[in-house]
Chain A
Amino acid sequence: MATRRVFISRSLGVAVLGGTLPSFFGKAAVADPLPALGSTIDPRNVLVVVQMGGGNDGLNTVVPYSDDAYHRVRPAIGIDEKAALRIDEHIGLNPVMSGLNELYKEGRVAIVQGVGYPNPNRSHFEATQIWETASPERPVATGWLGRYLDRIVPASTSAPSNAALFTAVTLGDTVPAALIAQHVDVPAIGALSTFQYNVGKDSASKTTANRLYDGAKPGQSPYLDLIGSTARAALHGGDYLKQRLASYQRSLTYPTDPFSQQLALAAQIIGSDIGTRVIFVSIGSFDTHAGQRNQQDRLLGYLSNGLRAFYQDLAAHGNADRTLVLTFSEFGRRVQQNASNGTDHGTAMPMFALGGKVKGGVYGTHPSLTDLDHGDLKFNVDFRSVYATVLDKWLGRDSAQVIGSSFDPVAFV
């Protein structure tokens, strides 16, 4: 017999009765900003999720170069055995990934092989929803990180303080499904300049907007209160963000591609101590149905060089040990190359974890290239095991509550 707790959800504006809703997804949890008492997990830990949009071909990322079957199925787009950056006797990284390879050699990178889930979906949209909500069986409204946020940020009827507003941020223009929460507002910061009230030189206009919203009174409609408090959080939060981030000094020059620039901003946010626990970044266009080598190699180069710069910047500011980077993509690609020197939508793929506290190495086994399911790889690690590891061991939350059931951890943290 559980005590019924009533939470007023700010963005939902609805009284949620714990225990009366049909599933765990609908339940508001007891929010607690800190990991469990006695936990050795640093409460300042940060998770940086890297979305590789479009479905990244795992076989040309972590290459099973010693497998004859690989060279048979990839006659035109395969990576030469000699070119692969050797991880061990069987696998190596795509040759453009020298940056990540260096970090691997330093023991900062874990490769989790053959990650997927039962009955894989090959639609970009639906597979992305599945990965981001951690719910392969049915659609749900909240993301896996959103549900985590609902558990660490207390529900409240008032707008978040500057300090709480940036608990999780996405460095894109829209909030990804992974960060959709019941009651936590996640700022979308496409660039520092977009999370601002933009009026050019007319600063009096900004001052007046602040005055209008600071003085805004709740009216008849309950929406007015929500709009007023959220706008105040946005207007003042934008100023706070700009001011707090201003003194950060980058320790190196990042590559100029947009993904690396997102990482530069991520390092700045982490280094400015504004209470951020989760940062979502993305790099797109991995949907390589044709001419794969050119496109994927270019993107993997951005990924690898960007992450190396990011890690160095974090390390120079003493933040590498409290930052964990996790990559994912909605699916891997078909084993057999297609007639356009590309690959079509497939299933399992490797994930990378990077950070000062990561136990580097290879986890799980590379899926067989001959024992296939309709031409696709069979997964051997459920992606929810990887999420569970991050939640339990890095963020200090009971993963079963967030994911909905228990999954065995992978030992990379």
Chain B
Amino acid sequence: MRASIAKLDTSTDPQVGFRPPGTLDAATALDRYRGAFGRRQAAHLARRSGFGPSAAEVEHLAALGVDGAVDSLLHPSEPDLDFPAYPDVEKLYDPKVRNGVAKMWWLDRMLRTKRPLAEKMTLFWHGHFATSINKVPANYMVGQIDLFRSQALGNFRTLLSSVSKDPAMLIWLDNRYNVAAHPNENYAREIMELFALGLGNYSEDDVKAAARAFTGWTLDKNGGFLYRDQVHDPGLKTFLGRTGPWNGDDVVGIIVEQPIHQRFICRKLLEFFVYSDPEPELVDRLARVYALSGYDLAQTVGAIIRSNVFYSTRAYRALPKSPVEFAVGLMRVMDVRQVPADIPFWLARMGQDVLAPPSVKGWDGGPTWISTATLLARFNLVNRIVRAVPPKAPATVASATAPNAAGPMAAMTPAPPNPNLFAALTPDQIVAHAGGIDANKVLDTVVVGTLQGDVTGDVRKALLDYLNARSATLPTPFGPENYQERVRGALALVLNLPSNQLD
């Protein structure tokens, strides 16, 4: 019976319909890529395995070659920056500021980390095990993000077991109230439906059995994990066809052994790293790698980012950037060195209020990132970051950063100018790199530095016209008097191109 229902239900996946055109060569799809590895491939790897990247990161990765570049991401040799293990504790418990403090703490790590793949996988697990700061206090959310980071590329079985004991999750899905006398099925259901198997691959009896297995997994007085034997149900349970006195860890072990689980998690990884709605043959092949590795995530992710299909033209700029990827990537490209305080607000407007997913299902992603309001927010965030100049007079900052001066942004706009909050990439640097105030050369520098040169002739023409325009508001052509404004303007237009919405 079970074998016949072991099929991935993709009917509610909004990314179905967005598979790139063309045909998969399944037999060689996961073989190691041995083709050219230049700037475009290096940037592709950096975007999918991290955030950004800056032009310098692209050159660095390209110089390493594909194997060296992937190894440097999977097994970084140098320690990461010495980040604060925890946000300021007093603020983390202050109801007025704690949510913002937690969001900023994480965004800072995304911006500055030397281990972008681990941070990217942390973001993946946050979306996968979607837990919200709107129910779970900020200190627990920080603990959960730390857990994701420490096991980001570890073993999925261990991760699933750790998540089942994670205080934030015990609060989020109510397992702290799950006791033998009154089983609470919330976590037991979601571990199967959302975290590991997918809808349709378990029965209501399996939910009941799993709930009994997780009874007694709760919190102690200090908010740590506590196993309370006296409220655990030690009886025999039949779960996914197997009978025994199962506890939560047994349930996790049985789940990961299901072939449908292996396909479920691999499909999700492929949608995150490669493209939407991957072919079942591709999913099956990766599921074999994952099972053979004993659920090892570094080996599984490594197999993806070394593969032919990953570097294929079908996968190139084939996924829409999530708002977090867009905003952190923008800051990295522009060399902003400290996250401006209004970024969490912009993320919410773009549709990804980090640490606050809209429901237990997380963000739907794919086409649901794209709406009129979210695109305008993306455009205006670019306009705000690229055009914000460290002020000489404070009035300039207000108008550059707060189009809606009465709105919440005004309050969140940092008051005294801190140079780290502004792009360190300046028009002068671009002009210097271009070798002079020459519209063609400047445009080349901009499109190579941001989009690895991926613009069409029509686009290039429109951008050149902008740089060279003479109009009522731009009375003089591109030259020494106006290059500062025009280079920033052109840079913003390039970053607002359709192709920069794609990873």
Contact = CB atoms under 8 A, between A and B. Distances in A.
B364 A141 contact: yes
Contact of A190 (B407, B471, B496): B407
A188 B493 contact: no
Report, as a range, how many residues of chain A touch the other chain: 35 or more
B18 interface: yes
A199 B12 contact: no
Contact of A234 (B17, B19, B376): B376
B349 A208 contact: no
B367 A11 contact: yes
A226 B369 CA distance: 11
Contacts of A204: 466, 469, 471, 473-474, 489
Contacts of B26: none
Contacts of B370: 11, 223, 226-227, 230
B135 A123 contact: yes
Given A14-B14, A205-B466, A197 B473 contact: no
A396 interface: no
A26 B430 CA distance: 50
Contact of A175 (B313, B373, B485, B492): B373
Contacts of A196: 376, 403
B20 interface: yes
Contact of A220 (B314, B320, B473): B314
Given A26-B11, A205-B493, A208-B465, A221 B318 contact: yes
A13 B14 contact: yes
Contact of A14 (B16, B379, B502): B16
B493 A208 contact: yes
Interface string A33-77: 000000000000000000000000000000000000000000000
B418 to A, nearest CB: 22
A213 B12 contact: no
Nearest to A17: B11
Interface string A186-215: 111111011111111111110011011101
Nearest to B134: A125
Contacts, number: 195
A195 B373 contact: yes
B408 interface: yes
Interface in A139-195: 139, 141, 165, 173-175, 177, 180, 185-191, 193-195
Which applies to chain B's interface (DSSP): helix, strand, loop or mixed? loop
The residue among B353, B358, B489 with the most chain A CB atoms within 10 A of its own CB is B358
A174 B372 contact: no
A216 interface: yes
B17 A223 contact: no
Contacts of A193: 403-404
A201 B473 contact: yes
A198 B384 CA distance: 8
Nearest to A261: B406
A189 B466 CA distance: 29
A284 to B, nearest CB: 11
Nearest to A189: B373
A215 B460 CA distance: 12
Given A200-B399, A208-B465, A234 B367 contact: no
Contact of A191 (B318, B406, B459, B485): B406
Contact of A194 (B319, B358, B376, B474): B376
A335 B185 CA distance: 30
Contact of B498 (A12, A205, A208, A224): A224
B379 A197 contact: yes
A208 B367 contact: no
A230 B368 CA distance: 12
B292 to A, nearest CB: 32
A220 B359 contact: no
B470 to A, nearest CB: 10
A11 B376 CA distance: 16
A400 interface: no
B498 A213 contact: yes
A271 interface: no
Interface string B164-207: 00000000000000000000000000000000000000000000
Contacts of A220: 20-22, 313-314, 318
Interface of A: 11-15, 20-21, 26, 123-126, 129, 139, 141, 165, 173-175, 177, 180, 185-191, 193-205, 208-209, 211-213, 215-217, 219-224, 226-228, 230-231, 233-234, 237-238, 258, 261
Interface of B: 11-14, 16-22, 132, 134-135, 313-314, 317-320, 345, 348-349, 351, 353, 358-361, 364, 366-368, 370-373, 375-376, 379-380, 383-384, 387, 399-400, 403-404, 406-408, 456, 458-459, 462-463, 465-466, 469, 471, 473-474, 485, 489, 492-493, 496-499, 501-502
Would you list the 3 A-B pairs with minimal beta carbon distance, nearest first? A234-B372, A188-B373, A13-B17
30 contacts: A11-B367, A12-B14, A12-B17, A14-B17, A125-B135, A129-B359, A139-B361, A174-B349, A188-B349, A190-B407, A196-B403, A197-B376, A198-B403, A200-B400, A201-B473, A202-B485, A205-B466, A205-B492, A208-B493, A209-B493, A212-B462, A215-B458, A215-B462, A216-B498, A220-B313, A221-B502, A222-B17, A222-B20, A238-B376, A261-B406
